[in-house]
Amino acid sequence: MANLIGAALVTAAVGGVVLVAVTDEPDPSPAPTTSVERVIDGDTVEVLTGGRLEKVRLLNIDAPETTDCLHAEATDRLKSLLPNGSQVTLEYDVERTDRYGRLLAGVVKLDGTLVNAEVARSGLAAAITIGQNARFYPQVSSALSEAVAAGRGLHSREIACTLPAQVKVVTTAAEVPAPVATAAPAEWTQAADAARTAFSQAEALANPSGLVWTVLSAADQSLLRSLVTAALPKLEQREKAFRSEAAAAEKRAAEAVAEERRKAEAAAAAAAEEQRRRDAAAVQQQQRQQQQQQQRTPSPPQQTATQQPSNPYPGYNGPRCYEPGGKVWHPCSKR
């Protein structure tokens, strides 16, 4: 017989009349063993049972889908629990298949481990009920409580994609110390940008959805929502304050640059004036030295007029013929 009879017959004799009632009680008879062929994702496997390949959706858990946080981790966890070839027993509830034709079951290992609960214990699935199928919900919910207490998987504050971690980021950003008063404009701008980013994240977290949200208990949802609500105005105020400080720091920096330029120009002017003074002094010193040198140098003797040789021929006023050297002459004879 199947593990659960969807419409078991219960008979009783009343006044000689046989009454037949229909119930939805689990079938206590053992289910046949099944071989795991492959793990599809964190809550679905393919098995070989009764000579047929069947896809089995694990009851009362909801693991991350392909685009969800920790999808790969949930799939890997189920693979570690159910290596290919594992022998398991499928235990059913009221509804045995879903609209996709998959079997809906609790997957039990030969040692009695309920795999559905182990996935939840790792913090990699939410505890859910769909329709009338709630047979394994208590075990799954209890296992999930352990994951919540230990901060595992989707309940971790250290795994970036989880909701607790995202809320931690924005609440921390709302309390992080501001830059020191003398910080550079870039530091204030960076702090303002960080506050704006955290504010945008907080706005998105104000209306969360998806498995990262539904996996949380109502109490945790309420707590995280209150933390986000409190962080939003703080982050908005911090961004405005930091922008203002950045502008003030930029003004101070510009004034400091202008003052340094003024000092540099003044120093350059002073240096130029000092060089001009030194150059002028050097020119004056050179002129004095030249004057002193001129005073110390004796004047050359004055040239006296060349004495004309006396006339060796008194009374002769005729042409003169000079000997070589131009000092001795004699009357030029007529030829």
Catalytic residue numbers read 57, 65, 102
Give the type of residue at 78: L
Output the CA–CA distances (angstroms, integers) from residue 328 to 55, 317, 318, 320, 333, in the order listed: 152, 15, 15, 10, 15
- Alpha-carbon gap, residue 34 to 205, rounded angstroms: 43
Output the CA–CA distances (angstroms, integers) from residue 333 to 134, 250, 316, 317, 319, in the order listed: 169, 113, 12, 13, 9
**Paired tokens of 249:** 């720091």
CA atoms within 13 A on the CB side of 331: 11
> Which residues lie across from 320 on neighbouring strands?
331
CB 70 within 8 A of CB 159: yes
User: Using only C-alpha atoms, what is the Rg of the chain?
Assistant: 55
What are phi and psi for residue 5, nearest 5 degrees? -95, 115
Q: How many CB atoms lie within 10 A of CB 318?
A: 9
Output the CA–CA distances (angstroms, integers) from residue 146 to 21, 46, 130, 155, in the order listed: 41, 28, 23, 10
The answer for residues whose C-beta is within 8 angstroms of residue 269's C-beta and 6 or more apart is: none
- Alpha-carbon gap, residue 168 to 173, rounded angstroms: 8
3-state secondary structure of 181: coil
